[in-house]
Structure 1
Amino acid sequence: MPADNSHLIVAAARRRSAATRRRAVAALRRMDATGVAITFESLAREAGVSRSWLYTQPDLKAEIERLRSRRRSVPEARPVPDRQRASEASLLRRLEVATERNRQLESENGELREALALALGERRTADLPGRCGDTPRKKSPNVIGPC
């Protein structure tokens, strides 16, 4: 009686199936990242798989249909890949950070305006005639050092 090698055939089929799935997922991600129109036909061609196999994969089928419908809703704009889309929470956080930065800049501008006003006031009072400032009234004698 010949040896039962069916487990080897099953293992090879599983490896082939996993490799096919990896190619399809990688192609789908590449196509989404580059903004290429995603259809069953284009994905099958890009991944080197059959269209019929794509239709038998519920998760891939749903993702293809979701990406196709998203593209239809915005025909003239290039769709942004999902992993590059900003979530509502991240947009709100960015808005909070920008608002805080604006407050800081407003405060800094106020401080700088006040410092400028003080400096201009000091300069104006220093330029008044008859004011005894730091400048001596008489010229200092020439100092001659050792020869």
Structure 2
Amino acid sequence: MRADNSHHIIAAARRRTTATRRRAAAALRRMDNAGQSISFDALAREAKVSRSWLYSQPDLRAEIERLRDRRNPASPDRQVPDRQHASDASLRQRLKVAAHSFSECASSRVASRSMVSRFSAVIA
């Protein structure tokens, strides 16, 4: 009777699955960083995996759908990679700076109007 060597086959299948997942994730990151259009078909070609395999991986499928559905209204044919999106904290800081700048402009406008009215009184 032969020895049970199935553990070798199982280990090889696990290594192959891990390598395939890494390849797909790396291709997805590359495509997103390059601003390429993300789709199951494009990723399958880039990662050299089957579309049906991509559909069967819930986490990869969710990420593909999220990136695919993301829209950039300023430039519909070139998407912004995730790492280039502004964070909430960054946007809050920009809003705070803009509000401060606006209040300085308003104060300056009031001072200018006051100065103009004084000069008008002196001239008249």
Same topology, TM > 0.5 = yes
What is the CA-CA distance between 1:79 and the residue it aligns to? 1.5
Q: Distance in 2 between matches of 1:94 and 1:75?
A: 22
Shift of the alpha carbon at 1:96?
A: 5.0
Aligned to 2:42: 42
If asked which structure has higher relative contact order (CA below 8 Å, sep 6+), I would say 2
Q: Distance in 2 between matches of 1:14 and 1:95?
A: 49
Higher helix share: 2
> Given the two structures, how large is their TM-score scaled by the length of structure 2?
0.71
**C-alpha separation in 1, matches of 2:44 and 2:82:** 20
Distance 2:44 2:16 in 1: 16
Shift of 1:66: 1.2
After superposition, where does 1:7-86 map in structure 2 within 5 Å? 7-71=7-71, 76=76, 78-86=78-86
1:89–1:72 CA distance, 2 compared to 1 (3 A): closer
Give the Cα separation in 1 of the matches to 2:49 and 2:87.
33
Give the distance between the partners of 1:33 and 1:27, measured in 2 at CA: 10
Task: Measure the CA separation in 1 of the matches of 2:89 and 2:72.
Answer: 26
CA distance in 1, matches of 2:74, 2:31: 17
Aligned length: 103
The answer to whether residue 73 in structure 2 is matched with residue 91 in structure 1 is no
TM-score, normalised to structure 1, is 0.60
**Unaligned stretches of 5+ residues in structure 1:** 101-147
Provide Cα deviations, 1:51-86, integer angstroms capped at 9, x if missing partner: 000000011111111111114866635211112211
Kept after mapping to 2: 8 A contact 1:37/1:71: no
2:46 partner letter: E
Give SS of 1:14's match: helix
Identity of aligned residues (%): 69
Q: Counterpart amino acid of 1:20?
A: T
- Residues 44, 98 of structure 1: CA spacing in aligned structure 2 closer, same or farther, 3 A cutoff? same
Cα offset, 1:91, TM superposition: 2.3
